[in-house]
């Protein structure tokens, strides 16, 4: 069994608003388009669900206030980028690692930098679809690395 820990997010992503990066340096928050839950919890849940689609893995997500489940491996994710940009790309950049339960020593660790082009700035449902595809790709990489 695998526990996906609470995802670390940078301060600019700690809001529930969807983000567009303008010129690579300016953060623009969507006025009305928001995530249904905080990213640190929502991404943990999404990755756990993706991992559980693999028949050999049973994964659980971090849940605030819930007791930890008995598990063999921890998945740690530190999100660095998770947004669209004014060049029409959607970007997910994160560092993830897997460790045995109770250990801080990673069995394996990688950085993922996924980009999908063809996004039209302002098309927030399109951004969410592309980010979801990128989360699934990251989850596939994590699943392949779990012993």
Residue 64 in this model has a pLDDT that exceeds 80: no
Return the DSSP state at 37: S
pLDDT band with cut points at 50, 70 and 90 for residue 18: very high
Express each pLDDT in 98-136 by its tens digit. 999 989 899 999 999 999 999 999 999 999 999 999 999
**Closest to 114 (Cα-Cα) out of 136, 86, 99:** 136
Enclosing domain of residue 12: 2-145
What does DSSP say about strands 26-34 and 59-61: parallel, antiparallel, or unpaired?
Answer: unpaired
pLDDT band with cut points at 50, 70 and 90 for residue 66: confident
3-state secondary structure of 96: strand
- What CATH number should be reported for the domain holding residue 75? 3.40.50.10610
CA distance 7 to 28: 22
**Closest to 92 (Cα-Cα) out of 41, 21, 16:** 21
* pLDDT value at residue 39: 93
Residue 76 in this model has a pLDDT that exceeds 90: yes
- Dihedral sign of CA atoms 107, 7, 48, 138 in order: negative
Q: Tell whether pTM > 0.75.
A: yes
Domain tally for the chain?
1
Residue 68 in this model has a pLDDT that exceeds 80: no
- 133, two tokens: 């595809």
Return the DSSP state at 11: G
């Amino acid at each position: 069994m695998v526990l996906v820990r609470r995802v670390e997010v940078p301060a600019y992503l700690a809001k529930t608003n969807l983000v567009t990066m303008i010129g690579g340096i300016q953060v623009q928050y969507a006025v009305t388009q928001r995530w249904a839950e905080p990213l640190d919890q929502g991404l943990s849940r999404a990755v756990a669900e993706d991992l559980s689609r693999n028949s050999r893995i049973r994964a659980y997500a971090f849940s605030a206030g819930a007791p930890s489940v008995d598990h063999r491996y921890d998945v740690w994710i530190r999100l660095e980028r998770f947004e669209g940009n004014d060049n029409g790309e959607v970007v997910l950049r994160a560092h993830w690692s897997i460790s045995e339960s109770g250990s801080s020593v990673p069995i394996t660790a990688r950085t993922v930098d996924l980009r999908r082009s063809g996004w039209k700035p302002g098309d927030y449902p399109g951004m969410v679809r592309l980010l979801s595809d990128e989360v699934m790709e990251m989850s596939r990489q994590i699943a392949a690395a779990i012993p």
